[in-house]
């Protein structure tokens, strides 16, 4: 169990990236969802002992992480957002080198470790090729292999699927899903589907604060019966946004479909739809942004979601 309490972080330039974050994260896959700039990487770096927070405490299985960072490091696997890749070094040599750094000292043990990991992430065939020539998906799979060296009990992956094509993303997520149930895996992402596909628990971070936390199912259930959908001509969208709490807009066959959050049918033409995690996420962002700009939870003119095909 990972316990984060009252964690705040302010950068020297005055940016308050984390604001009193408190979370209990049990074993299994935990999704940390938030828009760009929400503070996800700042939180991941604090948890990975790469950055000392301004205030708060972190405990993991009896380790006081801020007081004993080296103890945590011994059991941590971390895939940062921008994993530095070393040109012209083969996947095998790089992993072997990283295993040395991680304390896998014996040659035989290291060979076994490196071989098993390369098989696991499906890079065995290209083990002698330079990482510099790998695709984005292959690099991320290599990134997971290095994070898994020496059987960590806490694994942190920061926005691993950003920039991957759907097939690579799928492959990567399948790999994450195979990581044991007995470890804590924290997946930070702004991609709702990653959390839907993988995570048994989640939290939403906005503006450095945890604004929602729970199981995806429970958060979705809170919206049951309150999400309505309609197809709307493009030129009517701005007026609709003025009138109704539009939480998301996406294109279906070139035509905007809007999702509106309301206790009763908001307008003729709207049909009830089953709520999904996207509705949870976008309604949370919407409420937060509206509160910031209008203070009434029904902000006008602020699209919660970018138009997505």
| Segment lying near ligand ADP (by CB under 6 A), choices 30-38, 178-186, 270-278, 297-305 | 30-38
CB of 281 to ligand ADP, least distance (A): 14
CB of 8 to ligand ADP, least distance (A): 12
Query: Are 211 and 204 a contacting pair, CB within 8 Å?
Result: yes
d(CA 251, CA 77): 38
CB of 161 to ligand ADP, least distance (A): 14
| Segment lying near ligand ADP (by CB under 6 A), choices 8-16, 62-70, 221-229, 296-304 | 8-16
| Segment lying near ligand ADP (by CB under 6 A), choices 32-40, 55-63, 68-76, 227-235 | 32-40
Between the CA of residue 159 and those of 13, 122, 149, what are the distances in Å?
24, 20, 20
Q: Which residues contact 246 (CB under 8 A, 6 or more apart)?
A: 237, 240, 258, 259, 260, 286, 303, 304
| Segment lying near ligand ADP (by CB under 6 A), choices 29-37, 110-118, 163-171, 272-280 | 29-37
CB of 168 to ligand ADP, least distance (A): 21
Query: Are 91 and 129 a contacting pair, CB within 8 Å?
Result: yes
d(CA 21, CA 288): 16
Interaction with ligand ADP in 35-64: which residues (CB under 6 A)?
36-42
For residue 102, the SS3 value is coil
- The answer to the question of residue 82 lying near ligand ADP (CB under 6 A) is no
Residue selected from 1, 11, 86, 234 as contacting ligand ADP according to rule CB under 6 A:
11
Minimum CB distance to ligand ADP smaller for 204 or for 240: 204
CB of 58 to ligand ADP, least distance (A): 16
Minimum CB distance to ligand ADP smaller for 41 or for 146: 41
Between the CA of residue 94 and those of 50, 77, 98, 126, what are the distances in Å?
21, 16, 6, 13
Copy the structure tokens of residue 284.
């949370």
- The answer to the question of residue 17 lying near ligand ADP (CB under 6 A) is yes
Opening angle at CA 241, ends 235 and 246, nearest 5: 120
CB of 257 to ligand ADP, least distance (A): 27
Phi first, then psi: what are they for 255, rounded to 5°?
A: -110, 130
Helix axes 136-147, 107-120, angle to 10 degrees: 140
Give the interface with ligand ADP as residue ranges (CB under 6 A): 11, 13, 15, 17, 34, 36-42
């Amino acid at each position: 169990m990972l316990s984060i309490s009252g964690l705040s972080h302010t950068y020297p330039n005055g940016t308050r990236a984390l604001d009193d974050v408190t979370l209990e994260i049990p074993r299994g896959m935990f999704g940390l969802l938030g828009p760009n700039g929400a503070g996800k990487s700042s939180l991941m770096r604090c948890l990975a002992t790469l950055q000392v927070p301004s205030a708060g405490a972190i405990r993991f299985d009896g380790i006081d992480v801020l007081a004993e960072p080296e103890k945590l490091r011994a059991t941590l696997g971390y895939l940062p957002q921008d994993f530095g890749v070393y040109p012209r070094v083969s996947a095998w040599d790089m992993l072997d080198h990283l295993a040395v750094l991680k304390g896998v000292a014996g040659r035989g043990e290291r060979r076994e470790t490196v071989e098993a990991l390369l098989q696991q992430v499906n890079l065995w065939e290209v083990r002698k090729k330079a990482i510099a020539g790998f695709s984005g998906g292959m690099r991320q799979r290599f990134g997971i292999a290095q994070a898994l060296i020496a059987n960590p009990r806490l694994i942190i992956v920061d926005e691993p699927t950003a920039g991957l094509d759907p097939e690579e993303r799928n492959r990567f997520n399948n790999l994450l899903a195979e990581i044991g149930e007995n470890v804590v895996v924290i997946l930070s992402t702004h991609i709702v589907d990653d959390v839907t596909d993988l995570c048994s628990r989640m939290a939403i971070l906005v503006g450095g604060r945890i604004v929602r936390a729970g199981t995806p199912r429970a958060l979705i259930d809170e919206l049951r019966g309150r999400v309505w959908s309609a197809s709307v001509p493009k030129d009517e969208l701005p007026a609709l946004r003025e009138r109704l709490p539009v939480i998301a807009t996406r294109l279906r066959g070139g035509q905007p479909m809007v999702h509106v959050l309301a206790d009763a049918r908001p307008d003729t033409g709207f049909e009830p739809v089953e709520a999904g995690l996207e509705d949870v996420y976008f309604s949370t962002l919407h409420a937060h942004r509206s509160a910031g700009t209008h203070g009434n939870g029904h902000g006008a003119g602020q699209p919660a979601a970018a138009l997505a095909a």
